[in-house]
Amino acid sequence: MKLKVLLTLLAATCSLDGNCTSQKFFHTSHESALRQASAGLQGETDEPMSEVIERALTRAHRQAQILADSMERHQKRLPKTFERGRLRTCDYGDWVSGFFPGTLWMLGEHFADTAMLSEARRITARVEPAKRLKNTHDLGFMLNCSFGHAYRITGETYYLDVLREGAQSLLTRWNGRVGALKSWNTNRRWQYPVIIDNMMNLEFLCFIARETGDKWPRKVATKHANTTLRNHFRRDYSTYHVVSYDTITGRPHAKNTAQGCNDSSAWARGQSWGLYGYTMMYRQTHKAKYLRQARRIASFLVSHPRLPADKVPYWDYDAPGIPNAKRDASAAAIMASALIELSQLDKGPRAAEWLAVAEKQLRTLSSSTYLAEEGEQAGFILRHSVGHLPGGWEVDVPLTYADYYYVEALLRLQKIIGAH
Ligand code: GLY
């Protein structure tokens, strides 16, 4: 009821076409309405959200210091996970290589911690050779999440040069007939596989287009987003994981999963990548169809009967054994970060709900169930993520991308609600 009254008041400040009489006033009243409505949906909680965020960021900062210290002993390596009592590392070519450097940049900047920023600089350099990789689509994750923050924070041309070279490598994976960037190199099963995760590379291409004035990377990004929008989604706006295209006709020849429980299931992290991808593409382009798609995905997810009350998804919304199936903290962290952004871009009636769900997710992830104690699990921040359950690896472990998007979500939310 409270939500309805607030949203009616909010609507009264806007003209019929959605434009507001005063952008400044709208901005302020929209945000405060979101806050109040969100508090109404959330119910009373003991710890104010601003304190949850501060506590969680302080823990994340401490954990990142611990992990950075142990990475000194692993020259040229990047952290991947902590499994069976051991820190597992990878090299620059792993899709996760950029997340820990990115987490260091975000936390170093937030805490004005010059030692952490120096560590971020050292560890980011380990990812540099990825700029020449042409056998993977993951260059957005690898380079934009590491070098992207480095360039944003320092403005140094070295970082931009690496990003430019990396974007050129990524663009070699474009096929105009298909209208998409290829995700994995072909195998017998798939001619031209494109996975929903690939939406996450598009921010990198939009950024490069803006920085260099070259329109092509942005054109590729929008065409890829359009092709994915046409072919990846089901009637209920859940997404397939893998769509493979016939390279002669350019049309899909297979719709499958690799990491979900079956071809028609809703693999949780894939749904979060899709939500994040279309929300981000709306921010980049202001194209209404991307906002519509983001809303539809958000609606599918937040209304899902098998999304638990604490809002941390099972690893697949159709996983066998629910409610005893494994949860995936990474899917929750990515979804929370996307919902926070969507709540700010979407001026429609469900914006408050997007924010309330994200807050609930961050509260849950910041509880003792998910947030590691200081010094635990080699300095990884969150527990209980799932990398690849059908493959039997990284099940119920910490993961660098869960930590990265958790920190990003905390910082995004703090910006909205204010530091104090
Ligand atoms: N991009 C791979 C994953 O989400 O597991």
* Distance (Å) from CA 314 to ligand 1 centroid: 16
Q: Check residue 330 and give its pLDDT.
A: 99
Q: Which of 200, 240, 259 for a ligand 1 pocket mutation test, highest count of atoms within 8 Å of Cβ?
A: 259
328 is catalytic: no
**Which burial class, exposed, middle or buried, applies to 291 when counting CB atoms under 10 A from its CB (0-12, 13-18, 19+)?**
buried
pLDDT tens-digit readout, 57-86: 999 999 999 999 999 999 999 999 999 999
Q: Which residues contact 218 (CB under 8 A, 6 or more apart)?
A: 205, 206, 209, 210, 284
- Helix axes of 23-42 and 351-365: crossing angle, nearest 10 degrees: 50
Catalytic: which of 138, 316, 328, 346?
138
218 lines ligand 1 (CB under 6 A): no
How far apart are alpha carbons 11 and 4 in whole angstroms? 10
Query: Where do the domains of the chain lie?
Result: 1-76+267-420
> pLDDT under 70 in the chain at which residues?
1-45, 419-420
Q: Check residue 45 and give its pLDDT.
A: 63
346 is catalytic: no
pTM, to two decimals: 0.90
197 lines ligand 1 (CB under 6 A): yes
Q: Check residue 37 and give its pLDDT.
A: 42
Q: Check residue 24 and give its pLDDT.
A: 30
The CATH number fitting domain 1-76+267-420, selected from 3.40.50.2000, 3.40.640.10, 1.50.10.10, 3.30.70.360: 1.50.10.10
How far apart are alpha carbons 411 and 255 in whole angstroms? 36
Catalytic: which of 94, 197, 316, 403?
197
